[in-house]
């Protein structure tokens, strides 16, 4: 066979191979199509069908918890923070993790100022409270909420979430109380409270009986004030019966609901002891460890959401409350300068004293003060100048 004949035979073989390959590819139900050449092609073995991927529905286990709170139901902002948190958890778990908020004093909750005890001891799986109520147990609790002349809400959140503050507090809470905490609300800067008489200078504070929570009570005591512990729902009666001469709670919106203006007509500001009080969702560690990983993430996300929505609600509702209170004859007044100066000096003394007593307090306080110094210096530029200018002050 000459070279031309050999080439023709080779070309025919190649074309036949390609045709057979194409024929075997063009099949229906894995049956080969007829071959283009005389030689039949064996059918390709059928591939086993892959099962469809299951839908991702999350953990099947259901949980039903109570969340004890320190708040009366009437306060739709602060008690509403616990409600919002519980609703978010329920929605994100498709109703499989049901949390029922319990107002202060509810038999399935806890007395207003004993929420940490109830959660720590397992009487309630979780709680919503202000940690500084429990400084009698540890002054570390003050830093979870906020301290006199401390950071603003924005700054405090930065310290908690990015400055290592929350991690430090959680480590100490686990060791001391068997709980884990997550920021779950903030009232923003509070007001100074309701007084039955004018405060013209620091001497007017001496002998005053005042309802004051947390760290502010220790500072005011240095200024001669007799601090009295009264739960939020009992303040009105204490003012009305003259058991106390003055009281602070949160600010115009909540205070109006509690009716303080009916028994005291002078409201001072600012609440220097609470520049940005953070509220906590606290959870018993034994119960926390029972949760699936997905639910733990959901709880943290819901707490973070409550931490955002609560101050937004206060800022939206409080301006109108101020207008209503002015019509009721309330006088809003700033604290005199010498009161502010004396209070700041006393606050620094209090925390120096507590740091000297407890290494845990010193560890957190040192971290807090370092972060505060840096962030305040930073905010003295754009943030402070912009705010002051918008209020009509010269740069």
CATH number for the domain harbouring residue 136: 3.40.190.170
**Predicted pLDDT of residue 33:** 39
- 227 in a structural domain: no
Q: Nearest 5 degrees, angle CA 150-CA 153-CA 157?
A: 100
Does residue 356 contact residue 135 with C-beta atoms inside 8 Å?
no
Q: What is the end-to-end Cα distance of the chain in Å, rounded?
A: 103
CA 154, distance to chain mean position in Å, is 12
- 193 in a structural domain: no
Give me the number of domains the chain comprises: 1
- 366 in a structural domain: yes
Contacts of 75 (CB under 8 A, 6+ apart): 232, 254, 257, 258
pLDDT digit string (tens) for 237-277?
999 999 999 999 999 999 999 999 999 999 999 999 999 99
- Which burial class, exposed, middle or buried, applies to 373 when counting CB atoms under 10 A from its CB (0-12, 13-18, 19+)? exposed
DSSP lists the bridge partners of residue 98 as 64
- 257 in a structural domain: no
Residue 261 DSSP SS3: helix
- 27 in a structural domain: no
Q: Are strands 266-269 and 331-334 parallel, antiparallel or unpaired?
A: parallel
Does residue 42 contact residue 21 with C-beta atoms inside 8 Å?
no
Taking alpha carbons only, the member of 178, 156, 153 closest to residue 166 is 156
Does residue 336 contact residue 198 with C-beta atoms inside 8 Å?
no
> How far, CA to CA in Å, does 318 sit from each of 10, 245, 257, 259, 311?
92, 24, 11, 15, 10
pTM value is 0.84
Range of the domain at 133: 63-185+277-316+359-390
Residue 142 DSSP SS3: helix
**Predicted pLDDT of residue 58:** 53
Q: Could you tell me if residue 71 is left (phi over 0), alpha (psi between -120 and 50 degrees) or otherwise beta?
A: beta
Taking alpha carbons only, the member of 393, 324, 375, 304 closest to residue 150 is 375
Does residue 143 contact residue 214 with C-beta atoms inside 8 Å?
no
- 31 in a structural domain: no
Radius of gyration in angstroms for the set of CA atoms belonging to the chain, rounded to a whole number: 33
- 74 in a structural domain: yes
131 C-beta neighbours (distance < 10 Å), count? 28
- Cis status, amide bond into 270, omega within 30 of 0: yes
Residues (pLDDT < 50) of the chain are 1-45, 47-48, 51, 53-56
pLDDT digit string (tens) for 87-133?
999 999 999 999 999 999 999 999 999 999 999 999 999 999 999 99
**Predicted pLDDT of residue 52:** 52
DSSP lists the bridge partners of residue 281 as 128, 182
- 78 in a structural domain: yes
Contacts of 92 (CB under 8 A, 6+ apart): 298, 301, 302
Dist CA 146 CA 23 (whole Å): 77
Order the strands of the 226-228 sheet from edge to edge: 226-228, 209-211, 246-247, 193-195, 266-269, 331-334
Alpha helices in the chain (DSSP H): 3-25, 78-92, 115-120, 140-145, 153-162, 165-177, 215-222, 235-240, 252-257, 285-288, 293-327, 337-357, 359-379, 382-390
């Amino acid at each position: 066979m000459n070279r031309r004949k050999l080439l023709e035979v080779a070309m025919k073989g190649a074309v036949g191979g390609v045709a057979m390959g194409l024929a075997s590819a063009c099949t229906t139900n894995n049956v080969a199509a007829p071959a283009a050449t005389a030689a039949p092609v064996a059918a390709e073995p059928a591939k086993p069908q892959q099962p469809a991927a299951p839908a991702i529905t999350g953990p099947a286990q259901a949980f039903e918890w109570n969340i004890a709170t320190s708040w009366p139901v009437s306060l739709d902002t602060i008690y509403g923070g616990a409600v919002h948190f519980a609703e978010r958890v329920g929605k994100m778990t498709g109703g499989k993790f049901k949390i029922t908020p319990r107002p202060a004093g509810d038999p399935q909750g806890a007395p207003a100022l004993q929420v940490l005890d109830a959660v720590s001891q397992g009487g309630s799986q979780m709680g919503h409270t202000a940690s500084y109520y429990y400084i009698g147990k540890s002054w570390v609790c003050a830093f979870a909420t906020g301290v006199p002349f401390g950071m603003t809400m924005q700054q405090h959140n930065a310290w908690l979430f990015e400055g290592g503050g929350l991690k430090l507090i959680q480590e100490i809470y686990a060791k001391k109380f068997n709980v884990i905490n997550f920021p779950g609300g903030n009232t923003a800067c509070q007001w100074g409270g309701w007084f039955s008489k004018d405060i013209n200078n620091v001497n007017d504070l001496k002998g005053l009986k005042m309802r004051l929570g947390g760290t502010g009570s220790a500072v005011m005591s240095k200024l001669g004030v007799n601090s009295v512990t009264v739960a939020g729902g009992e303040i009105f009666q204490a003012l009305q019966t003259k058991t106390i001469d003055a009281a602070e709670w949160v600010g115009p919106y909540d205070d109006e609901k509690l009716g303080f203006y009916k028994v005291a007509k002078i409201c001072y500001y600012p609440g220097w002891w609470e520049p940005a009080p953070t509220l906590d969702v606290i959870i018993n560690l034994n119960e926390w460890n029972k949760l699936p990983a997905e639910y733990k993430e959901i709880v943290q996300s819901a707490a973070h959401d409550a931490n955002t929505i609560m101050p937004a609600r206060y800022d939206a509702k409080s301006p109108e409350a101020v207008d209503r209170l002015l019509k009721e004859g309330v006088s809003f007044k700033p604290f005199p300068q010498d009161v502010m100066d004396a209070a700041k000096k006393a606050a620094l003394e209090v925390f120096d004293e507590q740091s000297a007593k407890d290494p845990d307090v010193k560890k957190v306080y040192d971290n807090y003060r370092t972060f505060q110094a840096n962030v305040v210096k930073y905010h003295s530029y754009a943030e402070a100048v912009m705010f002051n200018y918008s209020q009509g002050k010269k740069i």
